[in-house]
Structure 1
């Protein structure tokens, strides 16, 4: 499939995903985020990792605030994205107070200000685990991003520096597809996709009752 055809297929799927997201209630997103967070925290790859990068979630994404707090409280080193123009680096978060004091970007996401210079994780020892965001995923690990390519480029930089972090993505069950259009050699797959299955959702409903 030609690259332009794949890009068109991605655009169509992004629109479909955004329609799905707009139909999800806050309670549904919160319920799923809670289940997914517990799955991540119990994952051996997470427990064995000391240097972890995590995206700071927007309203339409699986919430990561509780995961971030767990990373910091567990004395692991937490890294968060810092976007600048077309590039992204992963910078250290010093504490929960540091997180609370970060300014908001135009996307309503916290990140250090441009004059708050922090080293990239690749300059200080790399990363053990990257929690990668996305709009949709497949069980095979294909990922539909938002079209900027930040994480694909960063993961390639990790490999160039000799680091091979485990990659995990968090997915609402409505946004798990059999197939995701990908551009070979450009779009990076993730190692694991965590999502609530039917049994998880039913168990959670029973607990709430």
Structure 2
């Protein structure tokens, strides 16, 4: 049966999610470790005081070991929590350990948020935000899951992104880094990244 896609984005989402879902557990573990090593050896990570990073779910490129490493390196680690589904908004909440997560929206692990929670705001120090996604290209274009949460969030930090106080790094497996130019599928609301890190390479635009 033929599958009909509403858009080019849908094609890449379906194709690459299927590839990711079929990745064997042992290979995934090896690839995740390679991604972690590539990230922590970048100047962006090493110079950052704050690491904004999702807690991986399902077949996403694994981030738990990155979180553990960042905490051990005395980084301030912040993880996303959806706060408004209607307007596609989220905040990044500081965590102290992997025990600070609970099941959130869409069954995704999210940090517990209460009156004592520290929410990431604009910082004088350097920060890195780690972006999930399904497809990335050589121009820094990124196809996510279609919610727009990260694009909406990053718009609030355009000045930090432009002046270098915040760097964005998209991560995924090397087969998610496509050779096609996917610019035609991007909209004005889609924000590019300057760095894509996979298990094999560090790609810079």
2:20 maps to which residue?
21
Residue 79 of structure 1: CA displacement? 0.6
1:206 maps to which residue?
none
1:92 maps to which residue?
94
**Normalised TM-score (structure 2):** 0.82
Residue 107 of structure 1: CA displacement? 3.5
Matched, 1:188 2:191: yes
SS of aligned partner of 2:59:
coil
Q: What is the number of residues matched between the two proteins? A: 188
Residue 110 of structure 1: CA displacement? 2.3
2:9 maps to which residue?
10
CA distance in structure 2 between the aligned counterparts of 1:148 and 1:171, rounded to whole angstroms: 18
Question: Greater helix percent: which structure?
Answer: 1
Which stretches in structure 2 are left out of the alignment for 5+ residues?
none
CA distance in structure 2 between the aligned counterparts of 1:119 and 1:61, rounded to whole angstroms: 26
Q: What per-residue deviation string (whole Å, max 9, x for no partner) do you get for residues 64-114 of structure 1?
A: 111101111111111100112221111111x22xx3142212534322345
CA distance in structure 1 between the aligned counterparts of 2:198 and 2:67, rounded to whole angstroms: 18
Matched, 1:168 2:169: yes
CA contact (8 A) 1:53 1:127 kept: no
CA contact (8 A) 2:47 2:126 kept: no
Which stretches in structure 1 are left out of the alignment for 5+ residues?
1-5, 199-209
Matched, 1:177 2:174: no
**Normalised TM-score (structure 1):** 0.81
CA contact (8 A) 1:152 1:186 kept: yes
1:3 maps to which residue?
none
Residues 74 and 197 (structure 1), Cα distance of their counterparts in 2 relative to 1, 3 Å cut? closer
Superposed CA RMSD in Å reads: 2.2
CA contact (8 A) 1:135 1:175 kept: yes
SS of aligned partner of 2:192:
coil
